[in-house]
Chain A
């Protein structure tokens, strides 16, 4: 297993290299560049724009720019934001902490909601199943930014005493920090909980028809024990995979939900940076997101092997 993890990590480096190159090229393929975005107008003299580009090294050939960036990145130097002139690593890390908190709360909410509705749907069938599936269908169809907008509107309208927007740092006010993240986390979690719910439902229904469940019932085991040790433990593998992918996506940050709730997370930062063509920041965020996806996938595989002894890593 150790060897597998090391091999995986080596692979990760290759993946990150590829991702960083593609991101680098694509960003520069976008119309406009930092010089234009920063000065904001066409009326600026071309010499001024050239000056900015030269200063930032944007006038050099693309490959040269990439190699310079890569050389520094390998030593842990992700450069300086064009906009803030702050080191990228520090600012992105601060933003990531915010997104991480939000993703964590959203993931917990989705797993709790999804498990309850999925299990109820599969075990109770009938009307419960029907209602859960209908609600799931609606929640899956409605994009999270609409949910977020509705939450902001409705809560703002009927509970004006709650501060909905903005972010309170954990260290200054832990309770306010978590309370402030609950609504955006809810907006993010609805669609994810549908994935969890539908996967649990399908997996439990499939496992329920397996012979070993009949054997468990023939043993006289109580319903709870059959559910826990026979149904859920066997249904867990597909659920872990689907949930892992969704959680990875959450960790990448949500541009829309973070923007709507004015949360200074990584998604919002990425959005700002793309607008201002702040290449070093974009590059760092994309790299971090890719690293998270690969890491979460590895954790999912390890969890897999833990749940099911037939899986060999």
Chain B
């Protein structure tokens, strides 16, 4: 098992790794903004896996990006509230301080593996660059680590495959590469934004199992965003149900499933297609 190095600040901190309070996000023209988040508050403990469920446009992805202070190119996003990560409010940091957090302390796996890799760089080079950015390693050492990571996420013959380009990998394999990129610098928090939505059902299960295994081995916290209750069920301890920019229900995943308190949660659960009447969520 690989050792997880935690920095001193994290060791000395107690309480949740991530504490988000009253987070608001406004997108676009200040005169007629879209209120994507309307006061979101939640905690993620060290090593905890937390699910965020909700329909499209409910604010799950905006929440994830707000934590990383990332916005799509050209989008004007204004954030209010606080995002305390290991004792620091990320919303108060300047961009250069955020650069040291992104990829190093908080990493992200995105929805569509087909478009998330740079088509003109080898996959090895795309892991090397994040490693060399955050760790003081030579090119050779970084590549050795990249190859090790590719092996860890289940790429066969990783030393040779590191020199291949993204188009030579299947969708599932590309998502494994993206996971290798995300965990490359031993982040404290891994955000997975709909990591299996673009994948075949059989591959989905593999990717979810991989994420769970990595979280257990490395003691990372996991923020899993999905519109699919079935994905959340076996994966996380706590679930937050989001609707229209708010968290409408939060609790232990089994409790929420057994007795959804909020009407929207009940409707969302009812909307999940099931193969058997009992369902996997029961």
Chain A interfacial positions (CB closer than 8 Å to B): 125, 208-222, 225, 229-230, 233-234, 307-310
Instruction: Flag if B73 contacts A213 (CB, 8 Å).
Output: yes
Give the contacts of B113-139 with A (CB-CB under 8 A).
Answer: 115-122, 129-130, 133-134
Instruction: Flag if B120 contacts A219 (CB, 8 Å).
Output: no
Instruction: Flag if B133 contacts A225 (CB, 8 Å).
Output: yes
User: What residues of A have a CB within 8 angstroms of the CB of B101 in the complex?
Assistant: 220
Binds A, one of B50-58, B103-111, B249-257: B103-111
Instruction: Flag if B119 contacts A215 (CB, 8 Å).
Output: no
Measured between C-beta atoms, what is the minimum distance from A154 to chain B in Å? 40
Given A218-B68, A219-B102, A220-B133, do A210 and B120 touch, yes or no (CB 8 Å)? no
Measured between C-beta atoms, what is the minimum distance from A192 to chain B in Å? 25
Given A219-B102, A220-B133, do A234 and B119 touch, yes or no (CB 8 Å)? yes
Q: How long is the Cα–Cα vector from A303 to B23 in the complex, in angstroms?
A: 48
Given A216-B118, A309-B165, do A222 and B99 touch, yes or no (CB 8 Å)? yes
Q: How long is the Cα–Cα vector from A230 to B73 in the complex, in angstroms?
A: 13
Instruction: Flag if A308 contacts B112 (CB, 8 Å).
Output: no
User: What residues of A have a CB within 8 angstroms of the CB of B108 in the complex?
Assistant: 215, 218
Contact of A229 among B72, B100, B112, B118 (CB under 8 A): B118
Given contacts A125-B74, A309-B165, 17 further A-B contacts (CB under 8 A): A211-B115, A212-B118, A212-B119, A214-B70, A215-B117, A215-B181, A216-B118, A218-B70, A218-B110, A219-B103, A219-B181, A222-B99, A225-B129, A233-B118, A234-B119, A308-B120, A310-B167
Instruction: Flag if A220 contacts B102 (CB, 8 Å).
Output: yes
The contact string, 1 if C-beta is below 8 Å from chain A, for chain B 213-237, is 0000000000000000000000000
Instruction: Flag if A221 contacts B72 (CB, 8 Å).
Output: no
Q: How long is the Cα–Cα vector from A208 to B99 in the complex, in angstroms?
A: 18
User: What residues of A have a CB within 8 angstroms of the CB of B100 in the complex?
Assistant: 220
User: What residues of B have a CB within 8 angstroms of the CB of A219 in the complex?
Assistant: 102-103, 107, 129-130, 133, 181
User: What residues of A have a CB within 8 angstroms of the CB of B110 in the complex?
Assistant: 211, 214-215, 218
Instruction: Flag if A233 contacts B120 (CB, 8 Å).
Output: yes
Q: How long is the Cα–Cα vector from A277 to B167 in the complex, in angstroms?
A: 56
- 13 residue pairs of the A-B complex, CB under 8 angstroms, read A125-B74, A208-B74, A209-B74, A219-B103, A219-B129, A220-B99, A225-B133, A229-B118, A229-B121, A233-B118, A233-B120, A308-B119, A310-B167
User: What residues of A have a CB within 8 angstroms of the CB of B119 in the complex?
Assistant: 212, 234, 308-310
Point out which of A209, A216, A234 has the most chain B C-beta atoms below 10 A from its C-beta.
Answer: A216
Q: How long is the Cα–Cα vector from A208 to B74 in the complex, in angstroms?
A: 9
Q: Is B178 an interface residue (CB 8 A)?
A: yes
Residue of B nearest to A222 (CB): B99
The secondary-structure label for the interface of chain A is helix
User: What residues of A have a CB within 8 angstroms of the CB of B120 in the complex?
Assistant: 233-234, 307-309
Residue of A nearest to B102 (CB): A220
Instruction: Flag if A217 contacts B112 (CB, 8 Å).
Output: no
Instruction: Flag if B178 contacts A221 (CB, 8 Å).
Output: no
Leading 3 A-B pairs by shortest Cβ distance: A220-B103, A220-B102, A219-B103
User: What residues of A have a CB within 8 angstroms of the CB of B74 in the complex?
Assistant: 125, 208-209
User: What residues of A have a CB within 8 angstroms of the CB of B122 in the complex?
Assistant: 309
User: What residues of A have a CB within 8 angstroms of the CB of B181 in the complex?
Assistant: 215, 219
Point out which of B119, B120, B130 has the most chain A C-beta atoms below 10 A from its C-beta.
Answer: B120
User: What residues of B have a CB within 8 angstroms of the CB of A217 in the complex?
Assistant: 70, 102
Residue of A nearest to B104 (CB): A220
Instruction: Flag if A218 contacts B117 (CB, 8 Å).
Output: no
User: What residues of A have a CB within 8 angstroms of the CB of B129 in the complex?
Assistant: 219, 221, 225, 229
User: What residues of B have a CB within 8 angstroms of the CB of A216 in the complex?
Assistant: 118
User: What residues of A have a CB within 8 angstroms of the CB of B121 in the complex?
Assistant: 229, 233
Measured between C-beta atoms, what is the minimum distance from B202 to chain A in Å? 23
Q: How long is the Cα–Cα vector from A209 to B108 in the complex, in angstroms?
A: 17
User: What residues of A have a CB within 8 angstroms of the CB of B68 in the complex?
Assistant: 218
Q: How long is the Cα–Cα vector from A294 to B79 in the complex, in angstroms?
A: 55
User: What residues of A have a CB within 8 angstroms of the CB of B102 in the complex?
Assistant: 217-220
Q: How long is the Cα–Cα vector from A225 to B128 in the complex, in angstroms?
A: 13
Point out which of A211, A220, A310 has the most chain B C-beta atoms below 10 A from its C-beta.
Answer: A220
User: What residues of A have a CB within 8 angstroms of the CB of B165 in the complex?
Assistant: 309-310
Residue of B nearest to A217 (CB): B70
Residue of A nearest to B114 (CB): A211
Instruction: Flag if A215 contacts B133 (CB, 8 Å).
Output: no
Given A125-B74, A208-B74, A213-B73, do A221 and B117 touch, yes or no (CB 8 Å)? no
Q: How long is the Cα–Cα vector from A225 to B181 in the complex, in angstroms?
A: 16
User: What residues of A have a CB within 8 angstroms of the CB of B70 in the complex?
Assistant: 214, 217-218
Give the contacts of B177-194 with A (CB-CB under 8 A).
Answer: 178, 181
Given A221-B129, A221-B130, do A215 and B72 touch, yes or no (CB 8 Å)? no
